Amino acid sequence: MRLFQTIAGLRIYLSQQRPQKRVGFVPTMGALHQGHRSLIEQARRENELVVVSIFVNPLQFGPTEDLEKYPRLLEQDCQICEDLGVDVVFAPTPETLGIDSGDQTQTMVIPPESLTRNLCATFRPGHFPGVATIVSKLFNIIQPEIAYFGEKDAQQLAIIRCLVKDLSFPVEIKGCPTSREESGLALSSRNQYLSEAEKSSALALFESLQLAQKAFVQGTKTRQALLNLVQQHLDLTDEINVQYIDLVDPQTLSPLEEVTETGLLAIAAYVGSTRLIDNILLRNRQPIIAIDGPAGAGKSTVTRLVAKELNLLYLDTGAMYRALAWLVRQSGLALTDEAGIAELVSQANLALIPQPYPQATRVKINGEDVTEAIRTPEVTSLVSAIAAQKTVREVLLQIQQSYGKKGGLVAEGRDIGTKVFPDAEVKIFLTATVQERARRRLADFQAQGKTDIRLEDLEREIAQRDQQDSTRAIAPLVKAADAIEIQTDGLSIPEVTSKIVQLYLS
Ligand code: AMP
């Protein structure tokens, strides 16, 4: 592991590593705990090179806040990073980073007023401009492909997502679930300030959120009822001094009178002199089943059958890729003209019209029905090259996620559980040994009357494809940490389908 304290050192190192390596970045203020670890572990799984920054950012502390007192444990933090397989720790000082918090000569990045008029921003003026400025600076220095932020800091996450969109930073932002102690207390570097008694008082925060969530599941959806529940529970603990309790849209942060799709229920409170925050997402949508796995494991057949059995929408992601492949073919653009293809697909209007099983989903692109046209061998031969292009993935990611808003769907694809629906209720990683997949494919060929194909050749091809899929730059095959693996060797399609249906119903 390398430790850099200057922009110069880090930049040279990173420029030597690129372009072969995808860079994942975890910004922190150090005093690393399990919450940080979970972000770092995810970054490690998903990237070739992992950079962790450790910087107690003076720009985000108010004059009466705990900047001086904030724990600084660089040596211990570096050891944790080393143990987690981090490649680079970037631990600058305000001076080496060129930050001057005193004389106000620093260019600042100011998040929109709409995202900073409530929640923590009300009580920490200047905090989010400080965060947005330092994060922008770190993005420019490190230029990561993916950056990881905790959902615990929900307002920060919404602001960073907006910042990246508004300023067109070429980075993907991943929100990661809140890590908690077994007691439920959200992990935080500031928990170190709590006495044992305060720690046990602090449990009321998550308890109150859980109570509200339980009521929500049972039908309580309005602001007033949910906030009252939280307030009443917190009132039982004298040592808790509530700063705010709010129910907002998780993206726009606008207050919600009622949760129709998703609501963020958030709290900030003092326990003694320590300020703690916590939140929970209330999701009013039907569950999603996401099925990932290597090529040839039976994903698409099984997915259709699961949709039929459970009466869920089958989101035909394959048809989406086909539709864009059809569009590119129509346009006459060369496959190598990635820029031209990016222009074309970014402006395409794609719509899926689901049909009852076993009919194919109807597909329209720019108003034209292409349901049959996308199934021709000419289009088929283009699909995988089109799907490997970054903009194609990004365009489809947006569309697929918009279908996921209401839930009640099942979808398959190589990055469905990791990237498209990381919060799917049921995630399956469907797999089979290379030998089994080769045997299945051989049987398919034989059924089509092709008898001159050798099993060993198919095995070699499939192994090669797995290797390419798991190492390629765009949407590599990775198993989500919380996916349930189903090994399908020796299982029939109905058996696999029924396993998934059981998992969904249980
Ligand atoms: P900090 O060091 O407090 O600035 O946090 C660095 C990153 O870790 C931020 O993206 C936080 O949201 C995230 N983080 C902090 N606490 C937790 C937690 N308990 N679970 C998950 N992520 C967390």
Contact 288, 421 (CB under 8 A): yes
Over 90: is that where the pLDDT of 358 sits? no
Q: What is the structure's pLDDT at 49?
A: 97
Burial of residue 256 (number of CB atoms within 10 Å: 0-12, 13-18, 19+):
buried
| Residues sharing a CB contact under 8 Å with residue 383, sequence separation 6 or more, in sequence order | 318, 321, 322, 325
For 40-54, 265-279, 349-363, which range has the lowest pLDDT when averaged over its residues?
A: 349-363
pLDDT above 90 as % of the chain = 86
Query: 150 alpha carbon to ligand 1 midpoint, in Å?
Result: 5
What is the rounded average pLDDT of the residues 411-422? 89
Over 90: is that where the pLDDT of 362 sits? yes
Q: What is the structure's pLDDT at 101?
A: 65
Over 80: is that where the pLDDT of 104 sits? no
Query: 20 alpha carbon to ligand 1 midpoint, in Å?
Result: 29
Q: What is the structure's pLDDT at 102?
A: 66
Q: Which of 89, 153, 160 to mutate to test the pocket of ligand 1 (most atoms within 8 A of CB)?
A: 153
pLDDT above 70 as % of the chain = 99
**Closest ligand 1 atom, CA of 149?**
10
Contact 485, 479 (CB under 8 A): yes
What is the rounded average pLDDT of the residues 277-303? 92
What is the rounded average pLDDT of the residues 123-149? 97
Q: What is the structure's pLDDT at 284?
A: 86
- Report the alpha-carbon distance of residue 435 to residue 368 in Å, rounded: 42
Provide the pairing of β-strand 49-54 with 23-28: parallel
Whether 36 is catalytic: yes
Identify the sign of the CA torsion 297, 301, 305, 307.
Answer: positive
Q: What is the structure's pLDDT at 474?
A: 74
Over 70: is that where the pLDDT of 501 sits? yes
What is the rounded average pLDDT of the residues 54-73? 94
Q: What is the pLDDT of residues 398-409, one digit of tens each?
A: 999 999 988 999
Q: Take residue 38 and report the two structure tokens written for it.
A: 């979970």
What does the CA dihedral 412, 416, 417, 418 come to, rounded to 10 degrees?
A: 150
Q: What is the structure's pLDDT at 349?
A: 97
- Report the alpha-carbon distance of residue 293 to residue 426 in Å, rounded: 14
Q: What is the structure's pLDDT at 478?
A: 82
What is the rounded average pLDDT of the residues 132-137? 98
Contact 142, 92 (CB under 8 A): no
**Closest ligand 1 atom, CA of 179?**
20
- Report the alpha-carbon distance of residue 243 to residue 186 in Å, rounded: 17
What is the rounded average pLDDT of the residues 344-355? 95
Q: What is the structure's pLDDT at 103?
A: 64
Q: What is the structure's pLDDT at 197?
A: 97
Q: Take residue 444 and report the two structure tokens written for it.
A: 């398919």
**Closest ligand 1 atom, CA of 151?**
12
Q: What is the pLDDT of residues 428-464, one digit of tens each?
A: 999 999 999 999 999 989 998 988 999 999 999 999 9
Q: Which of 25, 28, 34, 56 to mutate to test the pocket of ligand 1 (most atoms within 8 A of CB)?
A: 28
Query: 355 alpha carbon to ligand 1 midpoint, in Å?
Result: 43
Q: What is the pLDDT of residues 233-288, one digit of tens each?
A: 999 999 999 999 999 999 999 999 999 989 999 999 999 999 999 999 999 888 99
Q: What is the structure's pLDDT at 54?
A: 98
Sheet with 2-4: strands ordered across: 2-4, 88-90, 49-54, 23-28, 146-150, 172-176
* End-to-end CA separation in angstroms for the chain: 44
Pocket around ligand 1 at a 6 A CB cut-off: 28-29, 35-36, 38-39, 149-150, 152-153, 176, 178-179, 186-189
Output helix, strand, coil percentages for the chain, rounded to the nearest 5. Answer: 45, 20, 35
Query: 245 alpha carbon to ligand 1 midpoint, in Å?
Result: 20
Over 90: is that where the pLDDT of 473 sits? no
SS3 assignment, position 51: strand
Read off the amino acid at residue 436.
E
**Closest ligand 1 atom, CA of 153?**
12
Mean pLDDT of the chain: 94
For 29-38, 92-101, 145-154, 245-254, which range has the lowest pLDDT when averaged over its residues?
A: 92-101
- Among 33, 36, 127, 233, which one carries the catalytic annotation? 36
Over 80: is that where the pLDDT of 144 sits? yes
Is this prediction's pTM over 0.85? yes
